[in-house]
Amino acid sequence: MIQESLISESAECDASDLELAAVSVAEVLSGAHTHAAVTCIRHSHDPPSGRQRPEGRRMSRSKGHFEEFKPHSKHKHLILDCYFSAWGHKLGLRTGAGSTILYVDACAGRGADELGNHGSPLIAARAAAIAQANVSKHRGTPFRIEVVAIEVDRAHHASLARLLEPFGDAVRALRGKLEEHIEQLERQYPNTPTLYLIDPFGLDPLQATLVRRALAGEKHEALLLFADQAALRHFGAIVAVETRAERRHRHAAHPLPLFPELQVDGLEALAETAQESREALENARISAIRILNAAFGDEAWLPQIEAIPQPARRAAFIRLYSEHLVQWGATHVLQIPIVDESGTRAYTLIHASKSAKAYRAMKEAVTHALNNSPLPEEVVECMKQMVRSNIEDVQDEILHRFASQTVRWAEDAGDRRRPCVRTFVLEETNAFPFEFEELKEQLRRFRMPGKPIIYKFPGERTDVDQD
């Protein structure tokens, strides 16, 4: 199942903040700017109002990130915290569960920001320790959640290793890249349910060969940061035909006939800058092709994205990547757009799993983050709009599934295996828990008097009925 709501929402953003090719990309990809279903989204290359980025003084992304996590990173951490806890408990307590599960944080970072806010590996280590203790106590046998955090940067790894030390030998910080460690992990943890988090800056580490392996095991799942803005930027570099400097030079070298007397100063300097920009663009193009081919596993993505009108390309990238995750073994794919405090679409988290229960747990984690987010209210509302389902479609699915049945809204505590509407909605439709009130309102006419909430659904209408 690939959740459809985000896929159908499309046209909010265009090409690129790639400095080399920004203008030509905009030109090449230009087209009518259709209004998005979600109008609060800014383009990530627009500086937030009132805050101009000082020329030539760009802080490294990594340094800025770990000075203090931005509200949208903290929002992501709320999702991770809630999901890791649910994942450990659910896998540990399910019938037939083994004695060990594994969490791999493939781009782990420093462990915390400079203010001490926990990053993904610390959040995972803490959630793992709690779930491990609870599950062991409940089962009466030892249960272990191992955490492997991988980080390529030497300084980040040193900080990470120091912060993870108190968690003991179930939690390890490895230096390097996932591709250097994955074989060893596969050997060491055969048949072990594993959750991979791949949360890089940009798309480079998100390689198809690795993601395919991460999803290979029967109970494996992955939470991936898909940098859709980076994908658009790379695509822009690939299809760009002219840089801003080249255009300036072209205009200067061929003045408009209306002004034949116009003197162009510094034509040579313009030509030199144009040449440099051409070389830079060629390099960006080569690297963009390499990164996107590696992410998708082959070159077939390019004509598919090229065929899509510009305003729908971001959605097309996310849809195509989600379809690849299904080809690589996922049965459930949930797309989680993350918007930053200025209203800029930052990236899309994509959860690829092989179980309806995992899909449901991630929807609950996303709702938990939306309800407790440090982001401004309007940004939270915007993210809700982006993932919310079509309630009438959900109602139709419920009426079809439970035609002629009398069924409870919530689980029956006395018989948890008995079907109920709530579980069906979470596991088999696109709807999120934050939509429950609206859904219940929609279903009110089928409700029987009294408590708990029980519905009596009609039989399915046949074609004859409808006539």
**Sites of contact with ligand SAM (CB under 6 A):** 62, 65, 106-109, 119-120, 150-153, 156, 177-178, 199-201, 205
Give the residue at shortest CB distance from ligand SAM: 119
Closest distance between ligand SAM and the C-beta of residue 79, in Å?
10
Distance CA 368, CA 86 (A): 12
Cβ-based nearer residue to ligand SAM, 62 or 273: 62
Contact 110, 63 (CB under 8 A): no
Closest C-alpha among 87, 362, 332 to residue 215? 332
CB nearer to ligand SAM: pick between 151 and 246: 151
- Please, what is the minimum distance in Å from the beta carbon of residue 123 to ligand SAM? 8
Closer to ligand SAM at the Cβ: 5 or 194? Answer: 194
Smallest distance from the beta carbon of 174 to ligand SAM, in angstroms? 9
Nearer to ligand SAM, 196 or 424 (CB): 196
CA–CA gap between residue 247 and residue 234 (Å, rounded): 20
Least separation in angstroms between residue 30's CB and ligand SAM is 31
Residue whose token pair is 């089962």: 139
Q: Which is nearer to ligand SAM, 153 or 186 (CB)?
A: 153
160-166 contact pairs (CB < 8 A, 24+): 160/108, 160/109, 160/110, 160/111, 160/121, 162/111, 163/110, 163/111, 163/112, 163/121, 163/122, 164/111, 164/121, 164/122, 164/125
Side chain identity, residue 155: A
Give the nearest distance from C-beta 349 to ligand SAM in angstroms.
11
Q: What is the DSSP letter of 48?
A: P
Choice between 205 and 217, CB closer to ligand SAM: 205
Q: Which H or E element spans position 347?
A: strand 345-353
Least distance from ligand SAM to the Cβ atom of residue 248, Å:
35
Nearer to ligand SAM, 66 or 402 (CB): 66
Q: Where are the beta strands (DSSP E) in 264-344?
A: 332-339
Least Å distance, CB 325 to ligand SAM, is: 19
CA atoms within 13 A on the CB side of 71: 15
Among the listed residues 369, 313, 400, 348, the one whose alpha carbon sits nearest the alpha carbon of residue 224: 348
CA atoms within 13 A on the CB side of 51: 5
Beta strands in 71-215 (DSSP E): 100-105, 144-151, 171-175, 194-198
In a 13 Å sphere around the CA of 392, the CA atoms on its Cβ side amount to 0
User: In the complex with ligand SAM, which residue's Cβ is closer, 43 or 65?
Assistant: 65
Q: Minimum distance from CB of 307 to ligand SAM (Å)?
A: 31
Q: How far is the CB of 223 from ligand SAM (least distance, A)?
A: 10
Q: Which residues of 147-186 are buried (b: 16+ CB within 10 A; e: fewer)?
A: bbbbbbeeebbebbbebbeebeebbbbbbebbeebbeebe
Tell which residue, 286, 310, 337, has the closest CA to residue 232: 310
Q: Which is nearer to ligand SAM, 108 or 291 (CB)?
A: 108
Chain-centroid distance of CA 10 in Å reads 15
| Nearest to ligand SAM of 70, 332 (CB atom) | 70
State in angstroms the smallest separation of the CB of 158 from ligand SAM: 12
Q: What is the three-class DSSP state of 234?
A: helix
In contact, 331 and 355? CB cutoff 8 Å: yes
Q: In the complex with ligand SAM, which residue's Cβ is closer, 71 or 200?
A: 200
Contact 363, 334 (CB under 8 A): yes
Report the nearest approach of ligand SAM to the CB of residue 287 (Å).
15
The nearer residue to ligand SAM, 179 or 411, going by C-beta atoms, is 179
Nearest distance from C-beta of residue 326 to ligand SAM, angstroms: 24
DSSP code at position 339: E
